[in-house]
Chain A
Amino acid sequence: MVPTSYYLVLSAILFGLGIVAFVFKRNIITIFMSIELMLNAVNLAFVAFSRALGRPDGEVFVLFVIVVAAAEAAVGLGIIILTARNRRSLNVERVDLLKL
C-alpha cells in the first residue's frame, strides 16, 4: 500500500523542480517545457486524490488539463517561433525591450 501522501510529496518535488527550471534556464523552449513539467506534477496530484477519495472527478479534470496543455503548447510554440525570428535568438534574456 502506497500512502497517498507519498504521491503528493512527489508531486510537490516535481513542481519545485519545474520552478527551478523555470527560473534558471535561458532557452525559451526549455522554459516552456518546465511549464509542462509543472502541469504534469499537478496532474499526478489530481489522480492521487481521485484514487484516494474514490471519485472519478479528478481523472476527468486531468483529461481536461491535458487538452488545455496541448492547446497552449501549440499556440505558445507559434509565438516562440515568431519571437525567435524577430530577435534572432532563443535566449530569453535578449528579450528586454521593456527595460526601464
Chain B
Amino acid sequence: MSATLIVFFVLAALAVLGAVNLIVQRHPIHSALSLIVVMVALAGLYLLLGAEFVAAVQIIVYGGAIMVLFTFVIMLLNAGEEEHTNFSKLANIAGIPLAVAIAGFIAATIVHSGQPLPPAAAQGSLTNTKTLSMMIFRDFVYPFELTSFLILVAILGAIVLAQRER
C-alpha cells in the first residue's frame, strides 16, 4: 500500500461522495457546493497524475469562474428548494438501471481492453507548462484560435440573452 494509492483512494472517495451529495441535496446551492468539492478532489487527482498545469487551470477556471457563475445565477433566480413533481414515470423506472449500465459498460471496456496500460505515476513531469504551451500555440493553434472565437461568441450571446426587455 503505497502512499500514492492511499491518497488516490482518499481523493476518489471525496469525489464520489461529492457527486452523491449533489444528487441527494434538494437545494441547488448545496449541489453547487458539492460540485466544488468534486472539482477540488479532481484537481488533487490531476496533481497525483503529475498534470500540475491542468490542476491549476481546473481550480482557477472551473472552481473559480464557472462555479461562481453558477452560484450567482442561483442567487439571481432565487432558486428555492426543489419542487416534488413527478411527471415522468419513465425516468423513475429507467434512470438508475441505465446509469449502472453505462457505467458498467465503460468500466468493463476499460478493464478488458487489449494491452494493459502502464501505471500512471508522477515520474517526473513529462509535461510541463512549457511543453503544453508549445503544443497549444504550435500544433493546435487553429483550435486555440477557434476556442477564443467561441468565447467571444459566448460572451455576446450571454449578454444578449440576459438583457432586460426593452
Q: Please list 16 pairs of residues, one from A and one from B, whose beta carbons are closer than 8 Å in the complex, sorted by A's number.
A: A2-B48, A9-B110, A10-B45, A13-B103, A15-B106, A19-B95, A20-B23, A24-B92, A27-B82, A33-B22, A40-B39, A44-B42, A47-B51, A59-B54, A67-B151, A94-B85
In residues 28-75 of chain A, which contact B (Cβ within 8 Å)?
A: 29-30, 32-34, 36-37, 40, 43-44, 47-54, 56-57, 59-60, 62-64, 66-75
B48's closest neighbor in chain A, by CB?
A2
Q: Mark B132-144, 1 if CB is under 8 A from A, else 0.
A: 1001100010011
Question: By the criterion of a CB under 8 Å from any partner CB, how many residues of chain A are at the interface?
Answer: 74
Which residue of A2, A26, A40, A56 is within 8 Å of B85 (Cβ)? A26
Total number of residue pairs linking A and B with CB closer than 8 Å: 250
Contacts of A15 in B (CB 8 A): 102-103, 106
A4: chain B residues within 8 A (beta carbon): 117-120
Interchain nearest-CB distance for B20 vs A (Å): 7
Assembled-state Cα–Cα distance A50/B65 (Å): 25
- Interface presence of B157 (CB below 8 A): yes
CB within 8 Å for A1 and B19 given contacts A47-B54, A81-B161 = no
> For the complex, what is the distance from the CA of A16 to the CA of B101, rounded to whole Å?
9
Among candidates A9, A36, A72, residue contacting B111 with C-beta atoms closer than 8 Å: A9
For A36, list chain B residues within 8 Å (CB): 35, 62, 66
When A21-B23, A23-B98, A59-B127 are in contact, do A52 and B120 touch as well, CB less than 8 Å? yes
The one of B46, B62, B87, B102 in contact with A69, judged by C-beta atoms closer than 8 angstroms, is B62
